[in-house]
């Protein structure tokens, strides 16, 4: 049997709240179903997710294939996707989250765009907040201080996000990748950094795809909706903004806050050129001072992750050497995205 044009890979853990709408959005895709493969991995759900998936499997009979893997333990979101990438698939792959609903033309438009430019390694669509026309993300933006933000997050779709463009990176809710781009970023045998496990893998993958010489493109005709459970406040920047966000931050499990702190710094350590760090050192140092002060005052338990951060530091430095030794994008080209 020939390979599909594109594969939709879905990794889920305890997703019964979302799974029906997510799978329904696959069923209504306008692209030829015979050219769409589906791989689903359950990460050991304890709710009714598995039963719902099994109920849906027969409805995918007219797709290229629909494979379901019932796992017994949690590999993590991106660790689960790496397991699915070992399965037969197409030239392109959708990294789908269970709390995402795709527009009916999502796959058709994605395939057309990826086929039109072989240098595009990752595609970011216009992703709205669920059941709204408010932007959730149009991809990653990174500043000279190395703060990472979702482009357009919380903004109304008033025409400012209607132009396709290159971006720093595709965000992790529902990016589309060229499989050859993912294969080009293997480090120590892994595409995904499994040491990150839960939070920030999408930023790490996006950064390494950039370093490997691929374009990452935002395309407004590729539309989806995402129920981001930890939607950020829009109180601005600085100390007052951080304090205003405290009620939202406290809704996030402490383990996730620890991983956010740890993994974003590991990602920068692995992927950032020394010359670019030196160019932006005042911005980086000032932001780190602010983050440290805030963390000591309001989230001191986050710093309990510091011993583990230091323990794996030698391994991260080995990964850094391999990543940068294979990089095709120059420091200047990367720095153009630090705004």
**Residue 214 pLDDT:** 98
Among residues 192, 212, 209, 210, the alpha carbon closest in space to that of 201 is found at 192
**Residue 113 pLDDT:** 97
Separation of alpha carbons 329 and 10, rounded Å: 30
Structural contact between residues 205 and 95, judged by C-beta atoms closer than 8 angstroms: no
Point out which residues pair with 193 in neighbouring strands.
Answer: none
**Residue 218 pLDDT:** 98
Domains, the chain, in order of start with CATH, read 1-98 (3.90.550.10), 238-335 (no CATH)
Token pair recorded at residue 169? 């990176």
**Residue 73 pLDDT:** 84
**Residue 75 pLDDT:** 86
**Residue 324 pLDDT:** 97
Sequence-ordered strand ranges (E) for the chain: 6-12, 36-42, 65-70, 92-97, 100-102, 120-129, 135-137, 140-142, 148-150, 165-166, 176-178, 215-226
Walk along the chain (339 residues) and give the pLDDT tens digit of each residue.
688 999 999 999 999 999 999 999 999 999 999 999 999 999 999 999 999 999 999 999 999 999 999 988 888 889 999 999 998 889 999 999 999 999 999 999 999 999 999 999 999 999 999 999 999 999 999 999 999 999 999 999 999 999 999 999 999 999 999 999 999 999 999 999 999 988 889 999 999 999 999 999 999 999 999 998 654 444 445 556 666 666 766 777 888 899 999 999 999 999 999 999 999 999 999 999 999 998 999 999 999 999 999 999 999 999 999 999 999 999 999 999 999
Structural contact between residues 90 and 37, judged by C-beta atoms closer than 8 angstroms: yes
**Residue 78 pLDDT:** 92
pTM of the predicted structure, to 2 decimals: 0.93
**Residue 244 pLDDT:** 64
Q: What is the DSSP string of 59-75?
A: GGTTSSEEEEEE-SS--
Token pair recorded at residue 206? 């996006």
Point out which residues pair with 145 in neighbouring strands.
Answer: none
Q: How far is CA 281 from CA 34, 147, 277, in A?
A: 52, 13, 6
**Residue 254 pLDDT:** 87
Neighbouring residues of 132: CB distance < 8 A, sequence distance ≥ 6: 225
């Amino acid at each position: 049997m020939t390979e599909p044009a594109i594969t939709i890979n879905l990794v889920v853990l305890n997703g019964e709240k979302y799974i029906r709408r997510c799978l329904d959005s696959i069923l209504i895709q306008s692209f030829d179903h015979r050219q769409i493969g589906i791989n689903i991995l359950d990460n050991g759900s304890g709710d009714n997710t598995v039963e719902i998936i099994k109920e849906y499997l027969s409805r995918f009979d007219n797709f290229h294939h629909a494979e379901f893997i019932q796992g017994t333990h949690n590999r993590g979101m991106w660790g689960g996707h790496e397991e699915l990438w070992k399965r037969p698939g197409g030239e392109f792959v959708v990294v789908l989250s269970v709390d995402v609903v795709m527009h009916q033309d999502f796959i058709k438009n994605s395939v057309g765009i990826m086929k039109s430019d072989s240098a595009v390694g990752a595609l970011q669509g216009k992703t709205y907040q669920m059941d709204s026309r408010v932007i959730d993300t149009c991809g990653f933006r990174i500043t000279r201080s190395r703060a990472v933000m979702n482009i357009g997050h919380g903004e109304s779709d008033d025409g400012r996000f209607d132009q396709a463009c290159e971006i720093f990176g595709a965000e992790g809710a529902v990016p589309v990748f060229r499989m050859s781009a993912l294969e080009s970023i293997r480090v120590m045998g892994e595409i995904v950094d499994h040491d990150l496990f839960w939070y920030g893998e999408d930023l790490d993958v996006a950064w390494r795809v950039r370093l490997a010489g691929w374009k990452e493109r935002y395309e407004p005709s590729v539309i989806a909706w995402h129920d981001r459970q930890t939607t950020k406040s829009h109180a601005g920047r600085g100390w007052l903004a951080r304090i205003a966000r405290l009620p939202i931050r406290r809704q996030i499990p402490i383990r996730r806050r620890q991983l956010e702190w740890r993994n974003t710094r590991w990602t920068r350590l692995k992927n950032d050129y020394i010359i670019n760090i030196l160019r932006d050192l005042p911005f980086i140092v000032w932001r780190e001072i602010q983050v440290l002060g805030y963390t000591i005052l309001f989230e001191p338990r986050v710093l309990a992750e510091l011993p583990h951060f230091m323990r794996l530091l030698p391994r991260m430095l080995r990964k850094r050497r391999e990543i940068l030794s294979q990089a095709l994008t120059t420091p200047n080209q990367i720095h153009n995205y630090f705004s």
